[in-house]
Amino acid sequence: FSDIFLGKINKNIIMSKKIAFLTAGGIAPCLSSSIGALIEQYNKLLPDAELSGYLNGYQGLLTGKSIKLGDEVKKNYQILFGFGGSAIGNSRVKLTNVEDCTKRGLVQEGEDPLHVAAEQLKKDDIDILHTIGGDDTNTTAADLAKYLEENGYGLTVVGLPKTVDNDVFPISQTLGAWTAAEQSALFFENVANENTTSTRQLIIHEVMGRHCGWLTAAAASDYRKSLDDYKWLPEINICRERWDVHAVWIPEMELDLDSELNRLSKQMDEHDCVNLFLSEGAGTDAIIKEKESAGEELRRDAFGHVRLDELNPGKWFAKKLKDSLSADKVLVQKSGYFARSAKPNAQDLELIKESAACAANAALNGTSGVAGLDDDSDGKMSVIDFDRIAGGKPFDIDQKWFEDLLNSIGQPKGAKVSDH
């Protein structure tokens, strides 16, 4: 595909030789690998290109801090496929949030962060900028791309969509999400053994997902599939019923809590434990309302999101459920950092490479946007206009695999939150 595309690239564009990368937002199992995959593509398409990375995302762009990706890096790009995190660092910076950028010392009083970023790119003679991140990263990239175009900077910006939540419109599958689900399931394989430490044990597996329950649902599904490979010994209480998933609570479902507590109480009575997979976004509106009504001031990030580590949804639900289930012990375990920091699995790496190929070719053709699987084009890989990128994409609870999951654990699906 890349070799064929070379013949279609405008000769003036092919002279572009300076290409920069930045990664931003929270980490996901795709960032270092995405840099590696982009380097692999430019080694084929434009081997003489000068590559660099802005350190710590838009923060490095604003402060002019970058690192050259020289011959040794270009030759050994495959090493990046074996690492999680980001080789060039991340940060959460919104270029249109002037107050936050000024407060953090990223720009001087009275400066426009978009102008500062554009001037830095001009100073560094960058022809192509690749942004790798979630909806916040790429909506910020959209703001930057628009500013560059309107002010005649003549620079192409192409993003890659990462988020473990799989919650970006209109992307069918974001980079790193499959791996995060797999790793969350692996995390719980060990944690589930904690059901043996006490009578009437409640284990809450808190999974990342601010607005979207896809990761929680996929992790629960992957974990249950892993149980098929176990050998059980019910005569000594080593039985699937104790290690199974008993409930999956996500933001998209309106749950009948009284009915759920009654169902889970029966599980507790019969098997002495309850294992709950909880999306951290489930119930956050109620938690925020409760805390703010009590006069508590909640910190927010540059994008206006309440910091979920301060809400602590797992702990909040633990208090609510302990008495209702007559639990002797409650354990809350968060798989977020374990899952998001992993290197990509084979399935994700294939998608990363496909996305990088699309992104590099589009960039050399002067087309800005986000390279991803487009929901509105039957999931076809394409460069999606920045204007169509948005966060908060909900998980579709009507998918058959999710309905089968709920049926298998005896949990009523309930109505969609959007139906209320």
Catalytic residue set: 165
Q: Which string of DSSP letters, residue by residue, matches 66-100?
A: EEEE-HHHHHTGGGGGG--S-TT------TT-HHH
Phi, psi dihedral angles at 122 (to 5 degrees): -65, -45
Element of type H or E holding 288: helix 284-293
The Cα 160–Cα 30 span in angstroms is 10
Q: Assess contact for 153 and 409: CB atoms under 8 A.
A: no
Among candidates 28, 55, 51, which has minimal Cα distance to 40? 51
Would you say the C-alpha torsion 345, 354, 165, 411 has a positive or negative sign? negative
Q: Assess contact for 237 and 402: CB atoms under 8 A.
A: no
Place of tokens 């589009």: 362
Torsion of CA 138, 144, 147, 153, to 10 degrees: -120
Q: Which string of DSSP letters, residue by residue, matches 229-257?
A: T---BGGGTB-HHHHS--EEE-TTEE--H
| 3-class DSSP state of 384 | strand
Phi, psi dihedral angles at 19 (to 5 degrees): -125, 130
> What residues contact 212, with CB distance under 8 A and at least 6 apart?
165, 166, 167, 251, 252, 279, 281, 392, 393, 394, 395
Tokens of 120: 């830095």
The Cα 342–Cα 139 span in angstroms is 25
Terminal C-alpha separation, the chain: 47
- What is the 8-class DSSP label of residue 299? P
Q: Tally the residues of the chain.
A: 420
The Cα 308–Cα 289 span in angstroms is 14
